[in-house]
Amino acid sequence: MAGAEKPMFAMDGNDVPFEPGQTILQAALAAGRYVPHLCFHPEFKPHGSCKLCTVKINGRTVASCTTLAKQGDEVESETPEIQDLRRNLVQFLFVEGNHFCPSCEKSGSCMLQAVAYDLGVMAEHFSPFFPSRPIDASHPDVLLDFNRCILCELCIRASAEVDGKNVFALSGRGAKKHLIVNAESGRLADTRLAVEDKAMDVCPVGVILRKRRGFQVPIGERKYDQHPIREVAVGKATARHASGKPSPQGPSKEGA
Amino acid sequence: MTAIDPAPVTRRPRVATAWLGGCSGCHMSFLDMDERLIELAGKIDLVYSPIADVKVFPADVDVTLVEGAVTNDENEHAARTIRRNSRFVVSFGDCATAGNVTAMRNRFTREELLQLAYVDLARGEIPTIPNDTTLAKLLVRARPLHEFVPVDAFLHGCPPSADEIWLAVSALVEGRKLELPAAYQRYG
């Protein structure tokens, strides 16, 4: 590759360089172009479940987190059509769970909330399900509030792949699919989950919370209170790539 | 904020605020506009509000801010009257917009709820579930305002800030499009 011109695709009319093997989403983030996403995490294999990163390539809608970048692709991302689709997906997630922002410890650091701000979601639009999902406060150090789960499976992946503990799993099908604790009793206290686990730090919403830490950072001073998610996500991507992984040499937008 | 233009108002705007299933926090925030209320009072007629002693929602209202979710039959009736009589209806705060705190009761049945509130947690009195026929009846679930009537705009926050309310109300009574800076879109 040395000296060779980097391959490029076009996103909304802008050239985006990529390394062979990178997905559209990875390349876009590395180049400082935000694509809304929830189940994608830079440290994990793309999952492709939330579909929020959907883009249109040569007329086909695909999840950009699982689609490899190709030279010359014409990618539509922030078109009114795609943004409307994304807005609907976020509204679906809101109505399927119980997302009471004022009483949520994750408010201000919540990706679902931040993505909804980014997309300008003014209301849920669809009829809320108001499901009954009791919390699990059995663990001495961790609170689980299933009301907020968006089924991204990041905790499942982190617990299985990094922690080697398999604490979480999904159960049920379709609209009844839900997060469960992988213990015979179903209680978090009967697992080996520890506060140091990777699974503690990947939840994009407010399901997995450390006890006795509520409001340590005041509302209004939290991550997405300070910076819109489209800036945070891009900064994060470049910082991560700088430390270890093959660098996609995209221009850093940090401080730009 | 929304693509819908408020109806052009050629006379002194008739403004109303209504309090459905909410804690009145949004109205407290309305009062937090402080001295700007004096300026506002010079521009509008407040024709109906919890802070104005008017018993019946009037006809021919230009802008109505509605606080709270629709949680009982009286709220539902009020929502329909407000919609019929208002040109521009604003969901005022997170309860009207999404159910929010008022909707937290939705995981219980009404019977469980009344039992808990008026019997199980009652102290020092003869526990009785109020059943006077003049009292509003709880709906099966508390729901957002737009589930009952079309809503023209949404103000977020629990409560929306006084600054946000000021910007929104100023725009609407002057017949301007309601477009708030992104920083004002905050749930909770």
For residue B115, which amino acid is it? Q
- Inter-chain touch B1–A122, beta carbons under 8 Å: yes
Instruction: Decide if A107 touches B, using CB distance below 8 A.
Output: yes
Contact A104 B188 (CB under 8 A): yes
Shared domain for A69 and A109, answered yes or no, is: no
Asked if residue B156 is part of any domain, the answer here is yes
Mean pLDDT of B137-157: 97
Q: Are residues A80 and A190 in the same domain?
A: no
Residue B188 lies in a domain: no
Structural domain contains residue B25: yes
Q: Given this model, what pLDDT does residue A75 score?
A: 98
pLDDT mean over B90-119 = 95
Model pLDDT, residue B181: 87
Domain that holds residue A199: 102-224
The runs of H, that is alpha helices, within A136-222 are: 154-157
The reply to whether residue A128 touches residue B98, judged by beta carbons under 8 angstroms, is yes
**pLDDT over 70, % of chain B:** 95
Residue B83 CB-density burial (10 A; 0-12 exposed, 13-18 middle, 19+ buried): middle
Contacts of residue B2 in chain A, CB cutoff 8 Å?
Answer: 122
How many residues does this entry show for chain A? Answer: 256
The CATH number of whichever domain residue A42 belongs to comes to 3.10.20.740
Residue with tokens 């172009």: A33
Is B147's CB within 8 Å of A127's CB?
Answer: yes
A252 within some domain: no
Residues A108 and A147 in one domain: yes
Beta bridge partners, A10, equal A15, A74
Which residues does chain A have within 8 Å of residue B103's beta carbon, measured at their own beta carbons? 98, 100, 128, 130
| pLDDT for A253 | 35
Residue A89 domain-assigned? no
Phi, psi of A224, deg, nearest 5: -85, -5
List the structure tokens of B81. 């009257």
| B157 in any annotated domain | yes
- Identify whether residues A122 and A216 lie together within a single domain: yes
How do residues A19-37 score in pLDDT, each as one tens digit?
999 999 999 999 999 999 9
Q: By the 8 A CB rule, do A169 and A182 touch? A: yes
Q: Is residue B165 part of a domain?
A: yes
- Residue range(s) defining the domain that contains residue B153: 14-103+141-179
Among the partner residues B2, B107, B158, nearest to A130 by beta-carbon distance: B107
On the question of pLDDT at B10 being above 80, the answer is no
Which of A84, A95, A98, A101 to substitute to test the interface with B, most B CBs within 10 Å?
Answer: A101
Q: Is A14 helix (H, G, I), strand (E, B) or coil?
A: strand
How far apart are the CA of A121 and the nearest CA of chain B, in angstroms? 9
Residue A155 inside a domain? The answer is yes
* Number of compact structural domains in chain B: 1
Shared domain check, A54 and A166: no
A80 touches B: beta carbon within 8 Å: no
How many Å apart are CA B65 and CA B167, to the nearest integer? 13
Who among B2, B104, B186 is closest to A122 (CB)?
Answer: B2
What CATH number should be reported for the domain holding residue A185? Answer: 3.30.70.20
Q: Look at A123 and B151 and tell me if their CB atoms are within 8 Å.
A: yes
Counted domains in chain A: 2
Same domain flag for A220 and A235:
no
Of residues B153 and A249, more confidence is placed in B153
Interface test with B, best of A93, A100, A117 (most B CBs within 10 A): A100
Q: Measured between CA atoms, how close is A205 to chain B, in angstroms?
A: 14
Find chain A residues with C-beta within 8 A of B104's C-beta. 98, 100, 103
Residue B159 lies in a domain: yes
Q: What is the CATH number of the domain that holds B52?
A: 3.40.50.700
A94 touches B: beta carbon within 8 Å: yes
Answer yes or no: do A35 and A139 share one domain: no
Q: What per-residue confidence (pLDDT) applies to A2?
A: 53
Chunked mean pLDDT (size 10), chain A, 256 residues: 79 96 97 97 95 96 97 97 98 96 95 97 94 96 97 98 98 94 97 98 98 93 94 68 39 34
Q: Do A123 and B154 touch (CB under 8 A)?
A: yes
